[in-house]
Amino acid sequence: MGYQVVAAQLARLSGALGTSDHASVVSITLFVALLCACIVLGHLLEENRWLNESITALIIGLCTGVVILMTTKGKSSHVLVFSEDLFFIYLLPPIIFNAGFQVKKKQFFRNFMTITLFGAVGTMMSFFTISLAAIAIFSRMNIGTLDVSDFLAIGAIFSATDSVCTLQVLNQDETPFLYSLVFGEGVVNDATSVVLFNALQNFDPNQIDAIVILKFLGNFCYLFVSSTFLGVFTGLLSAYVIKKLYIGRHSTDREVALVMLMAYLSYMLAELLDLSGILTVFFCGIVMSHYTWHNVTESSRVTTKHAFATLSFIAETFLFLYVGMDALDIEKWKFASDSPGKSIGISSILLGLVLVGRAAFVFPLSFLSNLTKKTELEKISWRQQIVIWWAGLMRGAVSIALAYNKFTRSGHTQLHGNAIMITSTITVVLFSTMVSHLMLQSLSNAVYQLIT
């Protein structure tokens, strides 16, 4: 009798697991098919200046979300549930690493001080501007259970830029100086925003004084410097190992695999040591592209270059596709639906804070940077400052990932304040990515007039 009960329970458990596995296979199959559709449509629309891969993925995600909502009778809008590990361990590292690996080093290091000034110091200034304004404004709006630490996180979340759309309008050959500033500032900005966000996790806003602020700034500097050093060290170590062993003489596959694994190892080591994996993998990519890449065989160079670009492209497409579907997530909108006017107001305020936070450092820091330049050609003109300011208005992958990490638990948002912040973040990302890109494309001629 006991054996029959145990057997029945095991059969029921195996059936449940089988059903769960089948559902996972169906979800992954559908999502991979959607990724393929994004790639095909992106290729067909390549000549269309009004659309890019990010917007195409967002639109496909939105359309898919509508279809899923209709088939599930309003219960769900996506096929996969958000996971913090999925975003921060598997999606963001290839995006940031490829940014460092593909950076034009000559222009990047020529303008390194200005890029660091904008990407690190500027991000800090934007963070303080947005955070203080959010505390002053949102604390009076009765937004659920949000506290000061949440408002500080909002400052870090909306300090992360996404200048991909702008870089598609700028021409690297015609405007190398401006392109290097926008691109370099964008990737350093992303890394700095993540470092800020991580530093805030151990920050107690209820005990703010001069010593606490100094400790916070010290922790930030420690994370920044240590993460950078670890990335540089890992990149140099990979170059040394590849050069001494010359693995490519015997196996190109092993050589490529070692380069890719050591790049990912730098990220995981940083996470293990409680450093910034994003900053580490970014500088690891820069060092690898300068030293390791020139020590591998010719076939490995081609393979690694396209492999990193492909992984980054898939990760970005995956992210925007998910955001498109999650924008229609009924659960989040239900918790924020009792105050639609407040949600719209918060989204508008956040957009305004992004504009102000961006302007708060672009123009002052450009003035300081110009004081150190000897010739007019090296200085950032007023017109170029306007383009740099506009280039950072869009919010994308990093902002979404940080917002999910802060305001959701395993993809679910069941607190009113958290739901409002998630829906507002999605609104800002959709609006800034799609509308700003369309405006930028329509004003592309005006942009070049500003530049020249």
**CATH label, 45-451, candidates 1.10.287.610, 1.10.3720.10, 1.10.238.10, 1.20.1530.20:** 1.20.1530.20
Of the two residues 372 and 328, the one the predictor is more confident about is 372
What pLDDT shows up at residue 17? 39
The confidence score (pLDDT) of residue 447 equals 56
More confident residue, 318 or 164: 318
The alpha carbon of residue 323 and the mean position of all alpha carbons in its chain are separated, in whole angstroms, by: 12
Kindly report whether the global pTM for this prediction surpasses the value 0.85.
no
**What percentage of the chain reaches a pLDDT higher than 70?**
79
pLDDT at 267: 92
Confidence of residue 268 (pLDDT cuts 50, 70, 90): very high
Name which of 67-76, 161-170, 440-449 the model is least confident about: 440-449
pLDDT digits (tens, 9 = 90+) for 402-429: 888 888 765 556 677 777 888 888 888 8
What does each C-alpha distance from 56 to 45, 46, 444 come to in angstroms?
A: 9, 10, 20
The 3-state secondary structure of 25-94 reads HHHHHHHHHHHHHHHHHHHHCCCCCCCCHHHHHHHHHHHHHHHHHHHCCCCCCCCCCCCHHHHHHHHHHH
Q: Residue 341: what pLDDT?
A: 65
* pLDDT the model gives residue 74: 66
Q: What is the pLDDT of residue 211?
A: 76
How far apart are alpha carbons 61 and 429 in whole angstroms? 14
Can you tell me the distance from the alpha carbon of 141 to that of 146, in angstroms, rounded to the nearest whole number? Answer: 11
Other CB atoms within 10 Å distance of the CB of residue 208: 12
> What is the Cβ-side half-sphere exposure of residue 368, based on CA atoms within 13 angstroms?
13
- In this prediction, residue 189 carries a pLDDT of 84
Residue 266 has pLDDT above 90, yes or no: yes
Considering 325-329, 373-377, 413-417, 432-436, the range whose residues carry the highest mean pLDDT is 373-377
Q: What is the pLDDT of residue 320?
A: 79
Interatomic CA distance for residues 161 and 433, integer angstroms: 11
Predicted pLDDT at 356: 92
Q: Tell me the mean pLDDT in the region 125-149.
A: 84
The vertex-268 CA angle with 267 and 273, nearest 5°, equals: 100
Mean pLDDT of the chain: 78
- Model confidence band, residue 446 (pLDDT cutoffs 50, 70, 90): low
Concatenated DSSP letters of 292-317: IHHHS-HHHHHHHHHHHHHHHHHHHH
